Structure 1
Amino acid sequence: MSKTTLPQLSRRDFIATTIAGAATLAAGPGLAASKTLNLLSHKVHQTVLGTGDGDLMKDWRKANDAELAFTTFDSNPLQDRLFREASLKETDYGVGYLIDNRPTAQIAALFEPLDAYQKKDPIEDFGDIAPGLVQGMTVGGKLIGIPVRHATQGLFYNEALLEEAGIGAPPTTLEELIEQAKKTTFTSKAGTPVVGLVLASDLAVFPVMFARAFGGDFISSDFKLVPDRAAMESGLNALRGLFEAGALPRSYATTKNDDQVTWLQQGRAAFTILPFARAAQLNNPDQSKFPGKIKAVAFPGSAALKGKAPMASVVEAWAMSIPANAKDKALAWSFIREVSSKRVTLGMAINGNGPVRVSTYADAALKAKSPLAAVEAQVLATARGAFPPFPEAARAQATFLEEVQLAVLGRKPVKDAVTAMIERIKPMMPA
């Protein structure tokens, strides 16, 4: 990278670089690797690869005489930095972790197409990686990222509160969920006011899930905006009915994602929708009043669709990509192949990663650690992103959520809110 293109190092970058350098020096001059692969990622991607005796990449490091240097950011700053690096004449980063709802056609052009690499030096049993995740990283017919982690939404419930309300089993249809959410809107024996269902109001995941439960969607994979208006109206009417019954918090308009976790842990809510990976946190005895009692099932579709069409839960996925301006693409692909192997995928899953391979869920070690492995694998098989990426996606999502809130809170008739979201978002849609 020339002096004219060097970005200014932030304090965080300087510290990360210093630590990486110190780690290399600590190994001793005789053990220093001849190559370094620089990676841009979230901290979690580094953590699940393990350290010390549990380092899943130690054999790869030795075989390639290479060291790994991670620079980590939170999700949005990470994507901004990755796109900025990929826009330069050349970048020192060989691998960047990409979120599946970000690569528009313009952004995808910044990354190396991986089809030729896969053909020449293929990833082990590539067909084992969930097809929906691969589709999310295929733009314009070109594969630009290899899925590495996913967060698939499930329906969590407090078994103790359901039993207290006289409910013997979790819901299998959306109608049953609504009924049970209303029934568990009560004051528990502990004296805690309980709402049936707690959801964050600032995430598109939840209204999208309710629309899909009736066979609809917000934006389909082929960019049809509200492809089934009646289904969207049914989903919003269901949410509005829950709010009117007090089965959604009165603070719904300001409820955040972290609130969902704490409310379930504290017994303030009977149901919520969260990624399956949250199970350990929800049942952590140091944080939860109900360890072992918070369980999860697939989010159910409407009774009218039962047995006819599978419910498509929302999934967010991360993938490993190679910037088109990277220096050592062969080393980058070698890293991606290793991380994508069955061995490392399983190791990362045991360390808390959402595994992208279907076969990983059948492993005895994982099933022993994660009792939700079977149901998560089932849900992942038909899951897809909340909406496909396009240049105005962030603005479209914000507009969608504005109208959803007005409808749920009863400030606008549902039909009018759906009409408004279509009219307002249509000009933002790709041609």
Structure 2
Amino acid sequence: MKDKLTFELTRRSFLGTAIAGAAALAASPALAAAKTLNVLSHKVHQTVLGSGDGDLLKDWKGANDADVSFTTFDSNPLQDRLFREAGLTETDYGVGYIVDNRPTSEIASLFDPLKDYLDRNAIEDFGDIAPGLVEGMTVDGKLIGIPVRHATQGLFYNEALLEEAGISAPPTTLEELVEQAKKLTFTSKSGTPVTGMILASDLAVFPVMFARAFGGDFITRDFKLVPDPAALEQGVEVLRGMFEAGALPRSYATTKNDDQVTWIQQGRAAFTVLPFARSAQLNNPEQSKFPGKIKGIEFPGSSSIAGSKPMSSVVEAWGMVIPRNAKDKNLAWSFIKEVSSKRVTLGMALNGNGSVRVSSYADPALIEKNPLAKVEAKVLANARAAFPPFPEAARAQATMLEEVQLAVLGRKPVKDAVASIIERVKPMMPA
């Protein structure tokens, strides 16, 4: 009896194990890929490449018998990790994503120059990639990164609030923007207190944009610090005047980038400055009280420079780099070449990526999905980074923002604040 019971239990155990094993085999892939490319990136770079049936790299993975393993971080931790990995004797990461304001000469030396790769195995229609973005990935005359994503700043406005205030069209000059922002500092019919404009105080984007509206800048591409002090003074004076009029939030000193999105979606602000790629989020009916009513245009320059100099919006761009100490550089370049192709670039754009290719913006599918495509393409043509990369860039930015905030809040005369920016940042500039 005991032997029979033992036999039955053993038989049941065997059958259960066999069935479970068969099920596990059926649920798993038939064969694992022979190679894995490890990639360091932000989560958004992985997301826009799609997954499942929408995986834009599906064909590339099959052709190369390779999988892609992403390790993702937020922007600053990502850059720190990338530079540490590239500084080791060897790294397991074949491709990293770098922001255009980070590669100093020293950092650029950690990555392979890519001209030889392009010469040996060219990227499809490389000239179609916006020249300004390529320039941003060129350090000491050497191309170290292939542009893959950009965030070009535009002026967003709530069309419903403009109409409620009797404004028939968005501003075409900075002066009109200020006038409308002040008029739109009111209580809407819904009872919501509205601030004319909301801007984050901890980002260099905004004072730089206002300085450029008058033909000025913070630091030029050739490292000229505040080339036109009067223009920067005019830009900061405008911000201060808006704050004094209540057209910037009372909480300006602590306002963050995410606040801009929320306030516009909820109708608490009429204007803001954000990347064009944010349009879909701002008009998302699940998040926004004004879906379809939040529009985007080029940030306007001052009427004082109209026709003499194009407005240069701020752009931040990402590029793909190959660490000098990477193991399989051929696979890494093959990945970069595929991601840079017209097909994948357009696919990423349809998934919300800022396309680096000019041709993408003329594609009917993208125009249908992104009504701002043509405007964004126009703005991108003259856009440039808020400042060029150099070793003390982060400290220089923090110093500039500190002085601008003091001036906007009325705690320091604007002229004195601009003079302090020049005096304090000058020792930080590269020799």
Other-structure match for 1:426 = 426
The one-character-per-residue Cα deviations of 1:82-122 (angstroms, maximum 9, x if unpaired) are 00000000111100000111100000000000011111111
Gaps of at least 5 residues in structure 1 are 1-24
Task: Specify the code of the residue in structure 1 equivalent to 2:371.
Answer: P
Partner residue in 2 for 1:389: 389
Percent identical among aligned pairs is: 80
Q: Which residue of structure 2 lines up, in the alignment, with residue 402 of structure 1? A: 402
- Distance in structure 2 (CA, Å) of the matches to 1:71 and 1:100: 20
2:296 matches 1:296: yes
Count of residue pairs the alignment pairs up: 407
Give 1:336-415 correspondences, 5 Å limit.
336-415=336-415
From the superposition, tell whether residues 338 and 283 of structure 1 become closer, same or farther in structure 2 (CA, over 3 Å): same
TM-score (norm 2): 0.93
1:144-163 pair list within 5 angstroms:
144-163=144-163
Helix, strand or coil for the counterpart of 1:31? coil
Structure 1 residue 163, shift from structure 2 partner: 0.6
Query: SS where residue 274 of structure 2 aligns?
Result: strand
Partner of 1:201: 201
RMSD: 1.2
Q: In 1, distance between residues paired with 2:27 and 2:326?
A: 27
Q: Deviations over 1:348-368 (max 9, x none)?
A: 000111100011010000111
Q: Which residue of 2 aligns with 1:188?
A: 188
2:416 partner SS: helix
CA distance in 2, matches of 1:65, 1:289: 47
Amino acid at match of 1:220: T
Partner of 2:69: 69
| Distance (whole Å) between structure 2 residues aligned to residue 59 and residue 309 of structure 1 | 45
Shift of the alpha carbon at 1:307? 2.0
Offset, 1:211? 0.1
Deviation at residue 284 of structure 1 after TM alignment? 1.1
SS of the aligned residue for 1:76 comes to: helix
1:189, distance to aligned residue in structure 2 (A): 0.9
**1:64 deviation in Å?**
1.1
**Pairing 1:288-327 to 2, within 5 Å after superposition:** 288-327=288-327
Deviation of 1:54 (Å): 1.0
Partners of 1:138 and 1:372 lie apart in 2 by 28
Give unpaired runs (5+ residues) of structure 2.
1-25
Q: Distance in 2 between matches of 1:353 and 1:246?
A: 35
Aligned to 1:22: none
Alignment partners' CA distance in 2, 1:55 and 1:255: 37
- Cα deviation for residue 27 of structure 1 reads 4.8
User: Structure 1: how far apart are the matches of 2:256 and 2:145?
Assistant: 30
Superposed CA offset, 1:32-88 (max 9, x none): 211111101111111111111111111111111111111111111111110000000
Residue 88 of structure 2 aligns to which amino acid in structure 1?
A: L
Question: What CA distance in whole angstroms lies between the structure 1 residues aligned with 2:64 and 2:284?
Answer: 39
Shift of 1:287: 1.2
Indicate yes or no: 2:201 matched with 1:231: no
Who is 1:6 aligned against? none
Q: Which has the larger radius of gyration?
A: 2
Query: TM-score, with normalisation over the residues of structure 1?
Result: 0.93
Aligned pair 1:272/2:263, yes or no?
A: no
Q: Which amino acid is the alignment partner of residue 118 of structure 1? A: L
The aligned residue for residue 284 of structure 1 is 284
Distance 1:276 1:416 in 2: 34
The reply on whether 1:244 has 2:247 as its aligned counterpart is: no
Instruction: Tell me the secondary structure at the aligned position of residue 226 of structure 1.
Output: coil
Any idea what the Cα deviations from partners look like across 1:299-346, whole Å, max 9, x if unmatched? 000112222211110011110000000011111111101100000000
- Please give the residue correspondences for 1:105-124 in structure 2 after superposition, counting only pairs within 5 Å: 105-124=105-124
Instruction: Give the structure 1 partner of residue 13 of structure 2.
Output: none
Q: Distance in 2 between matches of 1:87 and 1:391?
A: 16
Q: Quick one: distance in 2 between partners of 1:48 and 1:192?
A: 35
SS of alignment partner, residue 218 of structure 2: coil
Q: Equivalents in 1 of 2:28, 2:116: separation in Å?
A: 36
Q: 125-134 or 205-214: which moved more?
A: 125-134
**Which residue does the alignment assign to 2:34?**
34
> Aligned AA for 1:212?
R
